[in-house]
Amino acid sequence: MRFDVITLFPAQFKALTQEGVVARALRRGIAEIHLRTPRDYTADPQRAVDDRPYGGGPGMVMQYAPLRAALDAARADAAAAGVSSRVAYLSPQGAPVDQAKIVEIASASGWVLLAGRYEGVDERLIEDAVDEEWSIGDYVLSGGELAAMVVMDAAIRLLPGVLGHADSAGQDSYASGLLDCPHYTRPETAAGRGVPSVLLSGDHAAIERWRLQQALGRTWERRPELLRKRGMNDVERQLLDD
């Protein structure tokens, strides 16, 4: 899978591409991330890519032309590599990205991600060249870079071969539509507290039941709206009642 990112701050992406799960996926050739700055596509001698907003007000707005040229170049490069990419703009005005959306994103062969800065980007670019607008949460970041990294991390870890079998994404919190159950590791006693005895029992069916019950209970307590949306089968309803 291929991501092309349009950003004024390509160095920020080192956080994602130099170590960890995503870096390993890139090294193995399972995913590619190509960074491109609109500053390379401006005719301005100062390489400026922003200007003051029409109508006045604080902040600066990213201009149409350099962003459009960078987007077109990214899409053309992807197409030359046999990848047909849609364009997504990261912004607090976008549609909320949840795990189901991440699964959909990860099933595409490529995306061009536009990370905005300043007060935003010229609306005409969004109208002309953006297919989707995504938000990672109801708060305002100082730019779309972190949001783009969040989306790429969540999508790339789902690609076949990225995670080992043991920590496969199928075990994730949210893969089941539930929050995760609690986890414990050695030692058996930490700060005077033990481990739930079922986990030491060796009874795998009982352990699975306990984990599902914990996941249901936590989701019910902490995120009831997730549980309402997902629904429960009879076995799950019984476990939650017990």
- Using CB under 6 A as the criterion, which residues of the chain lie in contact with ligand ADE when the complex forms? 90-92, 94, 135-137, 139-141, 144, 147
Told to judge if 172 belongs to the known catalytic residues of this protein, a careful annotator would answer yes
Whether 178 has a binding-site annotation, put simply, is no
Find out whether 116 and 89 touch, Cβ atoms under 8 Å.
yes
Residue 135: both structure tokens together: 């938000």
Considering the candidates 77, 132, 172, 180, report the single residue annotated as catalytic: 172
Our CB check for ligand ADE shows the closer of 61 and 162 to be 61
Whether 207 has a binding-site annotation, put simply, is no
- Which residue number has the CB closest to ligand ADE? 147
Whether 217 has a binding-site annotation, put simply, is no
Rounded to a whole number of angstroms, the minimum distance from the CB of residue 113 to ligand ADE is: 10
Q: Which residues contact 71 (CB under 8 A, 6 or more apart)?
A: 6, 87, 112, 114, 125, 129
Residue 74, amino acid: A
Rounded to a whole number of angstroms, the minimum distance from the CB of residue 96 to ligand ADE is: 9
Told to judge if 92 belongs to the known catalytic residues of this protein, a careful annotator would answer yes
Q: What does the DSSP assignment read for 68-102?
A: HHHHHHHHHHHHHTT---EEEEEEEEEEEP-HHHH
Whether 139 has a binding-site annotation, put simply, is yes
Considering the candidates 32, 119, 133, 180, report the single residue annotated as catalytic: 119
Rounded to a whole number of angstroms, the minimum distance from the CB of residue 100 to ligand ADE is: 17
Our CB check for ligand ADE shows the closer of 42 and 135 to be 135
Whether 97 has a binding-site annotation, put simply, is no
Rounded to a whole number of angstroms, the minimum distance from the CB of residue 138 to ligand ADE is: 7
- Partners of 4 in the β-ladder: 34, 112
Closest CA relative to residue 176, chosen from 131, 129, 232, 221? 232
Told to judge if 222 belongs to the known catalytic residues of this protein, a careful annotator would answer no
Q: What is the 3-state secondary structure (H, E, C) of 116-170?
A: CCCCEECHHHHHHHCCEEEECCCCCCCCCHHHHHHHHHHHHCCCCCCCCCCCCHH
Looking only at the bridges linking them, the beta strands covering 2-6 and 86-96 are unpaired
Our CB check for ligand ADE shows the closer of 120 and 178 to be 120
Considering the candidates 36, 75, 117, 157, report the single residue annotated as catalytic: 157
Catalytically active residues are: 92, 119, 157, 172
Cite the annotated binding site for S-adenosyl-L-methionine by residue number.
Answer: 116, 136-141
